Amino acid sequence: MSETLLETTPELLRAEKLNAAGSAWGERIAANTASASLTFKTSGTAQGSVATQITSGTHSFLVDEPVGLAGDDEAASPVEYALGALISCQVVVYRLYAHQLGIKIDSLKIDAQGDLDVRGLFGIDENTRPGFSGVRLIVQLTGPETPERYRELQDTVDAHCPVFDIIANPTPISVELVLAN
């Protein structure tokens, strides 16, 4: 294979991006530790029956509910997006730490399941939590490493994945109600 083709493989491009991001953040934080703290902003506007148009920076997407939960079923539901956020964050962190630890991954697929009892959502049973009572991730990966190396990677990913942490641990939330005329 020619050197030019080799330099443009997805793995090498990913490695270049990971190296560049790691170096840039390392330099930025070394120069000013306060720069490690980020604030993410997203806004949503109600539309349709119960849908929400979400905007985050230059990105926009729709969130809805199935018909059985008063929606128009035009998009995934909020809890499905929460599972999707968990999966996508896990993929990012798997890629990041596989690169850092020198662990080769040939393929990576993650499935998530969340259990929710709608009695909490609808206020039918005040002892029932409105959110997930449990979340399960099924991480399927292939590659040449030993099972022990992949378990090491999994432990590292779970310890450093921001969305995993948001879901697994209590996160303080403050709500400000602004009434407009």
Q: What is the pLDDT along the chain (181 residues), one digit of tens a residue?
A: 444 444 568 888 989 999 999 899 989 999 999 999 999 999 999 999 999 999 999 999 999 999 999 999 999 999 999 999 999 999 999 999 999 999 999 999 999 999 999 999 999 999 999 999 999 999 999 999 999 999 999 999 999 999 999 999 999 999 999 998 7
Q: What is the pTM of this model?
A: 0.90
Q: Is 110 exposed, middle or buried (0-12, 13-18, 19+ CB in 10 A)?
A: middle
Closest CA to 87 of 60, 104, 108: 108
Closest CA to 61 of 45, 49, 83: 45
Q: Tokens 């539309």 label which residue?
A: 47
Strand partners, 113: 136
Distance between CA 28 and CA 22 in Å, rounded?
10
Distance between CA 156 and CA 109 in Å, rounded?
17
